[in-house]
A and B are shown apart, each in its own frame.
Chain A
Amino acid sequence: MSNTSLILIIITTALVNNVVLSQFLGICSFLGVSRQIKTSASLGAAVIFVITISSAVANLLYTYLLVPLQLEYLETIVFILVIAALVQMVEMFLKKTSPAIYKALGIYLPLITTNCAVLGVALTNVQNEYNFVQSVVAGFGTAVGYTIAIVLLAGIRERIDESDIPAPFRGAPVVLLSAALMSIAFMGFSGLAL
Chain B
Amino acid sequence: MNQYTERIYNGMIKENPCLVLMLGMCPTLAVTTSAINGLGMGLSTLAVLICSNLVISLMRNIIPDQVRLPAYIVIVATLVTVVDLLMQAYVPNLYSALGIYIPLIVVNCIILGRAEAYAAKHPPLLSTLDGLGMGAGFTAALTLIGLAREFLGAGSVFGHAVLPKSVEPIGIFVKAPGAFLIIAIIIAVMNAVGIASEANKKVEGCNGCCTSCADLTSCTSEKKEVAQR
- Taking beta carbons and an 8 Å cutoff, which residues of A are in contact with B? 21-29, 31-35, 39, 73-77, 80-81, 84, 107-111, 113-116, 119-120, 123-124, 127, 167-177, 179-181, 183-184, 186-187
Contacts and interface: CB of A to CB of B under 8 A. Distances in A.
A30 to B, nearest CB: 9
Contacts of A169: 184, 188, 191
B29 interface: yes
A177 B177 CA distance: 9
B227 interface: no
A161 to B, nearest CB: 11
Contacts of A107: 218, 221-222, 225
Contacts of B107: 80, 114-116, 119
Contacts of B211: 28, 32, 111
B1 interface: no
Interface stretch (B51-59, B147-155, B162-170, B196-204): B196-204
Given A74-B81, A111-B214, A32 B205 contact: yes
Contact of A120 (B104, B181, B188, B206): B104
A180 B191 contact: no
Dominant SS at the A interface?
helix
A116 B191 contact: no
Given A31-B25, A119-B106, A180-B181, A170 B81 contact: no
Contacts of A109: 218
10 contacts: A28-B26, A29-B208, A31-B202, A77-B77, A110-B215, A167-B192, A169-B184, A169-B191, A176-B180, A180-B181
B159 to A, nearest CB: 22
Contacts of A181: 177
Interface size on B, as a range, is 35 or more
Contacts of B108: 116
B176 interface: yes
Contact of A187 (B85, B177, B204, B217): B177
B53 to A, nearest CB: 18
B205 A28 contact: no
B141 interface: no
A141 B30 CA distance: 20
B36 interface: no
Nearest to B30: A24
Interface centre among B26, B30, B189, B207 (most CB of A within 10 A): B26
Q: Report, nearest first, the 10 A-B pairs whose CB atoms are least far apart.
A: A32-B208, A171-B200, A180-B180, A176-B184, A172-B199, A24-B30, A168-B192, A183-B177, A173-B188, A77-B77
Contacts of A76: 77, 80-81, 84, 103, 106
Contacts of B188: 168-169, 173
